[in-house]
């Protein structure tokens, strides 16, 4: 009897559901190419609540793991105490990550327990599957352990910022870092900065691949203002790490320094600091008009770019991976001012805007706004807009990036054994060469860069 074909199982936080903060702008473009190139994909969200967006043909949405997560949301934390390596990792968290680190280890172990039980029930012995966790977390820990027992399975993860960089938290700490990466077939980083970070942490190059995210090609380019108004746009969750109040202060200070110029600022996004921003704007200068639409669909942002004049995109985050928001702005040819954090410098430079130091102040941002917005040389302004579009086209096209990564996953799937034997992959077209999957106990040993 022939074995059934191998399956790609994509573990998301919530996609295609959007109740807990949708991943549409991240997962949507990639899932479209995965389904097209692989023929079928099984999407398994950890949380399946609220509205559901459409999925491409060939995509099966499996909510059995989210059902288990919901039914075991309390007992899983008790079972976490018996997860292999839990106590060793908890001690490491106590030394380096404080209470926040300990809480993350416990949460990851609880998720791992539920995911492991789900995998054991859903994939009988002999099943051939490639698990792809969209974010490194407890499910990645569980599936790495499952793959050690089920040699016809393998695990890939994609890392961004929150679950990658140790200094994304204070004190700096990431659970099961860097030892977990050694137990995976492949880790895809969304930025060169993330790739280099893992190399320095001791992760072998053959287990890494740079696979940037990407955005869809827009139907048209954004236009510059021609009526004398200076229009600034920003897009982000309004959380402390995004420093939206700092952006508000910079825009207010810029307007105050140029009282004869009309300035418009539109910020898309909601979050705990939004009321603080509204309060700040109550004392804005008379020549500044601010719009805070809150959380809107990604399509609404793109419609704004297509229908309204935009002169600059502003992002002053304290920490980033390589944000989709600036990819979208670049795709429509908007100049960008952003802080030099994570992989931002891979898209932003002096040719298409201004790259500020990581801990830039409001005066620093004001100077950058003046350099970009008050440059009277039309040819320089147009060159910046063309450079943004060129940078997007060369490195951040969803069609190019996600199609290439889908081909990489297909090679991994085709290399999985159907007889439960060991896995060796030597033909992947990756800079790091072939990928070998080696057994590694996840016992909390090892240290990453600090």
Which of 273, 282, 220 lies closest to 242 in space, CA to CA? 273
**Are the CB atoms for 435 and 425 separated by under 8 Å?**
yes
Mean pLDDT, rounded, for 27-48? 96
**Are the CB atoms for 120 and 96 separated by under 8 Å?**
no
Answer yes or no: is pLDDT of 70 > 80.
Answer: yes
Answer yes or no: is pLDDT of 435 > 50.
Answer: no
Mean pLDDT, rounded, for 110-139? 95
Answer yes or no: is pLDDT of 428 > 90.
Answer: no
Answer yes or no: is pLDDT of 165 > 60.
Answer: yes
Would you put residue 96 in left (φ > 0), alpha (ψ -120 to 50) or beta?
alpha
Mean pLDDT, rounded, for 94-121? 97
* Fold of the domain spanning 230-395: Rossmann fold (3.40.50)
Structure tokens at 63: 């909510």
Angle of helix 138-149 versus helix 98-122 axis, rounded to 10 = 40
CA distances from 264 to 261, 290, 373 (A): 10, 6, 12
**What's the pLDDT band for 418 if we cut at 50, 70, 90?**
low
Centre a 10 Å sphere on the Cβ of residue 200 and count the other Cβ atoms it contains.
11
Answer yes or no: is pLDDT of 140 > 70.
Answer: yes
Mean pLDDT, rounded, for 158-171? 95
3-class secondary-structure state, position 293 = strand
CA gap 225, 116 in Å, rounded: 55
Structure tokens at 304: 């704004």
More confident residue, 2 or 386: 386
Instruction: Return the residue matching tokens 């081909």.
Output: 407
Structure tokens at 299: 């399509």
Among 3.40.80.10, 3.40.50.300, 3.40.50.2000, 3.40.50.12500, what is the CATH number of 7-214+398-436?
Answer: 3.40.50.2000
More confident residue, 434 or 225: 225
CA gap 322, 193 in Å, rounded: 9
Answer yes or no: is pLDDT of 433 > 90.
Answer: no
Q: What are phi and psi of 46, to 5 degrees?
A: -75, -30
Instruction: Return the residue matching tokens 């938290």.
Output: 169
CA gap 125, 294 in Å, rounded: 48
Peptide bond into 346 cis (omega under 30): no
**Residue ranges of the domains in the chain?**
7-214+398-436, 230-395
Mean pLDDT, rounded, for 340-364? 96
- Residues 58-67 have pLDDT tens digits of 999 999 999 9
The H-or-E segment that residue 230 falls in is: strand 230-235
Answer yes or no: is pLDDT of 423 > 50.
Answer: no
Answer yes or no: is pLDDT of 125 > 90.
Answer: no
First vs last Cα of the chain: how many Å apart? 52
**What's the pLDDT band for 7 if we cut at 50, 70, 90?**
confident
Answer yes or no: is pLDDT of 430 > 70.
Answer: no
More confident residue, 299 or 115: 115
CA gap 156, 10 in Å, rounded: 9
Mean pLDDT, rounded, for 25-34? 95
- E strand map for 238-343: 263-268, 288-294, 312-315, 336-339
- E strand map for 41-163: 41-45, 59-61, 129-133, 153-159
Mean pLDDT, rounded, for 212-237? 95
Instruction: Tell me the percentage of the chain whose pLDDT exceeds 70.
Output: 91
- Residues 227-239 have pLDDT tens digits of 999 999 999 999 9
Answer yes or no: is pLDDT of 120 > 60.
Answer: yes
Q: Mean pLDDT in the chain? A: 90
- Residues 299-341 have pLDDT tens digits of 899 999 999 999 999 999 999 999 999 999 999 999 999 999 9
- Residues 393-409 have pLDDT tens digits of 999 999 999 999 999 99
């Amino acid at each position: 009897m022939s074995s059934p074909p191998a399956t790609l199982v994509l573990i998301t936080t919530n996609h295609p559901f959007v109740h807990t903060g949708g991943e549409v702008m991240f997962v949507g473009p990639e899932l479209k190419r995965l389904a097209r190139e692989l023929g079928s994909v099984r999407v398994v969200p950890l949380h399946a609540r609220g509205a559901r967006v459409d999925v491409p043909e060939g995509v099966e949405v499996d909510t059995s793991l989210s059902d288990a997560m919901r039914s075991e949301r309390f007992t899983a934390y008790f079972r976490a105490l018996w997860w292999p390596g839990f106590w060793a990792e908890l001690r490491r968290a106590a030394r380096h990550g404080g209470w926040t680190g300990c809480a993350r280890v416990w949460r990851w172990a609880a998720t791992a327990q539920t995911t492991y039980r789900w995998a054991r029930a859903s994939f009988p012995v002999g099943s051939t599957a490639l698990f792809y966790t969209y974010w490194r977390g407890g499910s990645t820990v569980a599936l790495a352990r499952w793959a050690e027992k089920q040699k016809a399975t393998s695990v890939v993860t994609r890392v961004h910022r929150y679950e990658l960089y140790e200094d994304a938290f204070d004190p700096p700490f990431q659970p099961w870092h860097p030892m977990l990466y050694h137990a995976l077939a492949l880790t895809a980083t969304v930025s060169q900065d993330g790739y280099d970070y893992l190399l320095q942490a001791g992760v072998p190059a053959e287990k890494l691949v740079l696979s940037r995210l990407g955005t869809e090609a827009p139907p048209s380019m954004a236009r510059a203002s021609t009526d004398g108004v200076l229009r600034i746009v920003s897009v982000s969750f309004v959380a402390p790490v995004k420093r939206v109040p700092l952006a508000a202060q910079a825009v207010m200070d810029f307007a105050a320094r140029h009282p004869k110029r009309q300035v418009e600022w539109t910020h898309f996004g909601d979050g705990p600091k939004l009321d603080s921003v509204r309060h700040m704007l109550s004392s804005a200068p008379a020549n500044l008009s601010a719009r805070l639409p809150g959380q809107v669909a990604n399509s609404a942002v793109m419609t704004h770019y297509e229908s309204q004049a935009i002169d600059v995109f502003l992002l002053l985050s304290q920490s980033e991976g390589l944000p989709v928001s600036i990819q979208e702005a670049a795709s429509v040819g908007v100049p960008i001012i952003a802080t030099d954090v994570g992989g931002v410098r891979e898209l932003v430079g002096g040719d298409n805007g201004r790259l500020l130091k990581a801990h830039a102040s409001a005066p620093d941002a004001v100077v950058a706004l003046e350099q970009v917005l008050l440059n009277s040389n039309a040819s320089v302004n147009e060159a910046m807009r063309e450079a943004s579009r060129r940078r997007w086209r060369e490195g951040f096209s969803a069609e190019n990036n996600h199609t290439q990564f889908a081909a990489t996953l297909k090679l991994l799937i085709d290399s999985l054994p159907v007889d439960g034997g060991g896995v060796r992959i030597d033909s992947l077209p990756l800079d790091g060469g072939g990928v070998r999957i080696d057994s590694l106990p996840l016992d909390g040993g090892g240290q990453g860069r600090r």
